[in-house]
Amino acid sequence: MNYSNLKIEIKESIALLTINRPDKLNALNRKTVEEIGSGMDELTADENVRGIIITGAGEKAFVAGADISEIAALDRETGRKFAAAGQAVFDKIEQCPKPVLAAVNGFALGGGCELAMACHMRFASENARFGQPEVNLGLIPGFGGTQRLPRLVGKGRALQLLTTGDVIGADEAFRIGLVNEVVPQNELLDRCGRILKTIFEKSPLAVSEVIEMVNKGLDLDLAAAEKLEAIRFGHICAGEDKAEGTAAFLEKRKPKFSGK
């Protein structure tokens, strides 16, 4: 599929999805959000893709925010629809059964921070900057920011960022748990690639089950989440990957997983 505001490259089972509006600091307009959704559908369905890296074109921005000219024209109903559409696309990222990593280079503000938070893991270059500055515009985040941020960094820190609109650097984002690692900018994509290749050595079925269980469990109380975990544990015990993995361990060899 051809995209206007995205670039997709696939190499060694890794898909690199790049938001490609560098002249606009990769700001998210409707078309870009729609293309991200289509891109995720394409890559999720592609059996040759085992992991995805999302990044922004250029060195200045991952995604600097939403397209304010579009936001300015929204009213009650169009605003609700705009937010719901963005949430649906970002939910596709979070619910993807394949690992999705954000490679955050430069500004990740507003919708950009929300996009990064929808990914399963976040890796930041030393020049990365994070924030939810919507209150400066008389707005609140609309693509899941008020919900994912407290789940990642805790209620107090989330409320501080959400109500002040402060922008924080990569080191502070790492300190509060918003990002997994901070690396030099010229090593960012390589680091993400190495993480994915490590994951590729594991059972694809187990990896997808882990992603699903973490996502579902966060919305349940502990007892219900553990009950669901036990059910899924039993299910995976009947799979070929479990048989191969345990046999390989006992035979002191490297497993050859089939994803079944």
Contact between 8 and 55 (Cβ < 8 Å): no
pLDDT of 9 reads 97
Contact between 136 and 165 (Cβ < 8 Å): yes
pLDDT of 108 reads 98
pLDDT of 1 reads 77
* pTM of the predicted protein model: 0.95
Interhelix angle 145-153/155-164, nearest 10 degrees: 140
Per-residue pLDDT of the chain (260 residues; tens, 9 = 90+): 789 999 999 999 999 999 999 999 999 999 999 999 999 999 999 999 999 999 999 989 999 998 888 999 999 999 999 999 999 999 999 999 999 999 999 999 999 999 999 999 999 999 999 999 999 999 999 999 999 999 999 999 999 999 999 999 999 999 999 999 999 999 999 999 999 999 999 999 999 999 999 999 998 999 999 999 999 999 999 999 999 999 999 999 999 998 88
Give dist(CA 211, CA 120) in Å, integer.
8
In this structure, what are the phi and psi dihedrals at residue 176, rounded to the nearest 5 degrees? Answer: -90, 0
Burial 225-239 (b: 16+ CB within 10 A, else e): beeeeeeeeeeeeeb
Listed residue (70, 15, 27, 36) closest to 193, CA to CA? 15
Give dist(CA 29, CA 242) in Å, integer.
44
**Domain residue ranges of the chain, discontinuous segments joined by +:** 6-200, 204-250
Residue type, 160: Q
List, in order, residues 6 or more apart from 75 with CB less than 8 Å away: none
pLDDT of 67 reads 86
CATH superfamily placement of domain 6-200: 2-enoyl-CoA Hydratase; Chain A, domain 1 (3.90.226.10)
What residues are labeled active site? 114, 134
Two tokens, residue 105: 């280079």
Q: Does domain 204-250 sit in CATH 1.10.12? A: yes
Roughly how many angstroms between the first and final C-alpha of the chain, as a whole number? Answer: 29
Residue type, 184: P
Residue type, 19: I
Listed residue (139, 140, 147) closest to 118, CA to CA? 147
pLDDT of 27 reads 94
DSSP labels for 171-232? HHHHHTTS-SEEE-GGGHHHHHHHHHHHHHTS-HHHHHHHHHHHHHHTTS-HHHHHHHHHHH
